[in-house]
Amino acid sequence: NILVSACLLGIGCRYDGKIKKNDAVCALAQKHTLIPVCPEQLGGRPTPRKPVEIKNGNVTEECGNCHTSEFEKGAEETLKIAQITGCTLAILKSRSPSCGYGEIYDGSFSKKTVSGNGIAAALLSENGIKVKNEENFDK
């Protein structure tokens, strides 16, 4: 079983409500059972929703509204699903404030990135789950 960001599989959970399926990730379903999760929806965020980025450890909209606690709840629920389904690998959406791993947007809402992890990706990794993204997983 592989935990996967639901938006990579064509689920309409992205902040902007758009469908952006990743064909290479979807193709993994031929040989593996894919478990779709959207940490932001699991944390109670609506779709569509305002974009957020991480700055100084907090998840905020550009106007300053803070959603850190929802993102933390979503990360915990995502970890539970990974554990219930026995996932040891997660393939998550790059640069997202929830799902990004190794690189995330820098909090300036200008498409600049910094080293860092999204809230859910970090919790999964801390609990022994290997995290990859749609750009660096081993096809």
| Contact flag: residue 13 with ligand SF4 (CB under 6 A) | yes
Residues 98-137 that bind ligand SF4 (CB under 6 A): 98-99
**Region near ligand SF4 per CB under 6 A, out of 5-13, 25-33, 57-65, 129-137:** 5-13
Q: How many residues bind ligand SF4 (CB under 6 A)?
A: 12
One-letter amino acid for residue 124 of the chain: L
Q: Check residue 14 for interaction with ligand SF4 (CB under 6 A).
A: yes
- Across the beta sheet with 2-5, the strand order is 34-37, 2-5, 89-92, 130-133
Q: Which residue spans within 1-139 are E strands per DSSP?
A: 2-5, 34-37, 52-55, 58-61, 89-92, 101-105, 113-117, 130-133
Q: Could you tell me the two tokens for 57?
A: 């450890």
**Rounded to the nearest whole angstrom, what is the least distance from the CB of residue 72 to ligand SF4 in the complex?**
13
Contact residues toward ligand SF4 (CB under 6 A) are 5-7, 13-14, 38-40, 93, 96, 98-99
